[in-house]
A = this chain, B = another copy of it.
Amino acid sequence: MGLHVLKFGGSSVGSLKRIENVADIVAKRAKEHQVVVVLSAMQGETDALIELARHFSQSPDPREMDVLLTTGEQKSVALFSICMLARGLKARTYLGNQIAIRTSREFTRARIEHIDVEGIMKSLNSGEVVVAPGFQGVTNEGDLTTLGRGGSDTTGVALAAALKADVCDIYTDVEGVFTTDPNIEPKAKKLSSITYDEMLELASLGAKVLQTRSVEFAKKYKVPVHVRSTFKDVPGTWVLEESRLMESLVVSGITYTKNEAKVVVEGMPDRVGIAAELFTNIAEAGVGVDVIVQNVSKDGTTDISFTVLRADLRKALEVLEQNKGALKFRQVRGDDRISKISAIGNGMRSHSGVAAKMFKALAKDNINIQMISTSEIKVSCVIDEKYTELAVRVLHDCFGLDKISTKEVDDFR
């Protein structure tokens, strides 16, 4: 008998019928293992609550916002437990303040600081299925908090870590992590396993399967995570330490994001400290920067390009115009019609030539690369947005991802 944490997303509990389906899955698992169930709010619920709050304010008070948003998960755990108990199964809801999941006081984006597991261990040892709401926690002062969008993943993995669980199953509406978005490339294949680092890059570069912070947690505490379908009982994708993987693919996934915009600052004096000054201005305006590229021109001036979230573009341009006098650039322009295409793979650590292969493939289809950014296990290119889908297919094909055949990994439970 092991201890398993099963997390179900909003679409998995999106209707009363689907909640019954989740009860089937949990009941089956609970026959052999101790089970902690973590649930998201029913699909659409959180958005509906945000919509209500927006009626009063575009930036509603964050503390009260968390009081509002936590009702979503509270509702789904109560309904699920009622369903389990009606079937004669033993289940018990523990809210965020009962477990307790202690967080920082950063309302709407709090971070888990400590989890008490004593109470729920007692429940588990008495044969009860513990049902916990995802996404929520409580401050030391007793105020409810939420962990940011997708925070239920983090609740699941953090509980698994605190309980030293054998596995954290992330049940969702897809069958696992794919080599790319199957909506764009129908030949996309499900990966049987990937490393935490690959998953981190995938999550932060546009694959919406897991909240980035949950993967950081999983990596830190070595929690085996199994991303799988709620609706089809087939093996999903294991997210594991590198050492537990049979083999690493050179490239295991192609991702894209369309939520960024490019800022180009042209004709700045090429002197020491100018970049620091520019990005200090940007940072002080609360705008995050992703890719940065600098070119030095012949005439003693320099051009700096960087990407920001599309929602921040206007703010970034305003800040720069305000500081034009100090920065002494010729002109600044923004472009919100870009996308970022990335190839990710743990095998890049030991294989060279991935970037070159990628650039060549894009060039062959006349896709111009505007910016490049690389890490140990990924290469990202900023391109014109209109080529996004084409680029995804070209790269998927170029790295042979439609032909991969990875062995199904052993069950790590």
Q: Is A408 an interface residue (CB 8 A)?
A: no
Most chain B beta carbons < 10 A, residue from A56, A75, A142: A56
Task: Please list 8 pairs of residues, one from A and one from B, whose beta carbons are closer than 8 Å in the complex, sorted by A's number.
Answer: A56-B79, A57-B82, A60-B86, A64-B78, A67-B93, A68-B82, A71-B71, A74-B74
Cα A321 to Cα B56 with chains together (Å): 60
Cα distance, A82 to B81, chains bound together (Å): 30
Q: Which of B67, B79, B95 contacts A144 (CB 8 A)?
A: B95
Task: Establish whether residues B79 and A53, one from each chain, have CB atoms under 8 Å apart when the complex forms.
Answer: yes
CA distance A83 to B55 in the complex (A): 9
B79 engages A68 (CB within 8 Å): yes
A64 cross-chain contacts in B, Cβ below 8 A: 78, 81-82, 85, 93
CB of A49 closer than 8 Å to a CB of B: yes
* Chain B residues, CB < 8 A from A56: 16, 19-20, 79, 82-83, 86
Complex copy number for this chain = 2
Interface of A is mostly: helix
CB of A70 within 8 A of chain B? yes
A293 at the binding interface (Cβ < 8 Å):
no
Closest B-chain residue to A61, C-beta based? B85
**Cβ of A67 and Cβ of B55 under 8 Å apart?**
no
- Closest chain B CB from A143 CB (angstroms): 8
A67-B61 contact, Cβ under 8 Å, with A86-B56, A97-B97, A142-B97: no
Q: Given A75-B71, A97-B97, decide whether A16 and B55 contact each other with a Cβ distance below 8 A.
A: yes
A167 interface residue per 8 A CB criterion:
no
Q: Say how far A162's CB is from chain B's closest CB, in angstroms.
A: 19
A16-B56, A71-B71, A75-B71 given; A65·B82 CB < 8 A = yes
Given A60-B82, A68-B79, A97-B142, 11 more pairs with CB closer than 8 A:
A16-B52, A60-B86, A61-B81, A61-B82, A63-B92, A64-B78, A64-B85, A64-B93, A71-B75, A95-B144, A98-B142
Residues of B within 8 A of A20 (CB): 56
Interfacial residues of chain A within 53-107, with CB under 8 A of chain B in the complex? 53, 55-57, 60-61, 63-65, 67-68, 70-71, 74-75, 77-79, 81-83, 85-86, 92-93, 95, 97-98
CB within 8 Å of B: which A166-194 residues: none
**A67 B74 Cβ-Cβ under 8 A:** yes
- Binary interface profile of A, 18-58, with partner B (CB < 8 Å = 1, else 0)? 01100000000000000000000000000001001101110
Distance, CA A52 to CA B142, complexed state (A): 29
**A67 and B60 contact, Cβ closer than 8 Å, known pairs A16-B52, A98-B142, A144-B95:** no
Q: Which residue of B lies closest to A91 (CB)?
A: B64
A49, A70, A77, A81: residue with the most chain B Cβ atoms closer than 10 Å: A81
B52, B67, B82, B92: the one contacting A95 at CB < 8 Å is B67
Is the beta-carbon distance between A67 and B57 smaller than 8 angstroms?
Answer: no
Shortest CB–CB separation between residue A148 and chain B, in angstroms?
18
Task: Please report the C-alpha to C-alpha distance between residue A75 and residue B71 in the assembled complex, in whole angstroms.
Answer: 7
* Minimal beta-carbon separation of A99 from chain B (angstroms): 10
Bound-complex Cα distance A85 to B61 (A): 7
Contacts of A85 in B (CB 8 A): 57, 60-61, 64
Q: How far is the CB of A73 from chain B (nearest CB, A)?
A: 9
A14 → B minimal CB distance (Å): 13
Q: List residues 113-166 of chain A with CB under 8 A from any CB of chain B.
A: 142-144
Which A-B residue pairs are the 6 nearest by beta carbons? Answer: A68-B78, A57-B86, A67-B78, A71-B71, A61-B85, A64-B81
Query: How far in angstroms is the closest Cβ of chain B from A138?
Result: 10
Cβ contacts under 8 Å, A70 to chain B: 74
Q: In the docked arrangement, what's the CA distance between A289 and B64, Å?
A: 45
Complex-state Cα separation, A98 to B138, whole angstroms: 11
Give, as a whole number of angstroms, the nearest-CB distance from A113 to chain B: 19
Min CB distance A90 to B, Å, is: 11
> In chain A between 242 and 274, which residues have their CB closer than 8 angstroms to a CB of chain B?
none
Which residue of the partner chain, among B16, B53, B77, contacts A67 with CB atoms under 8 Å?
B77
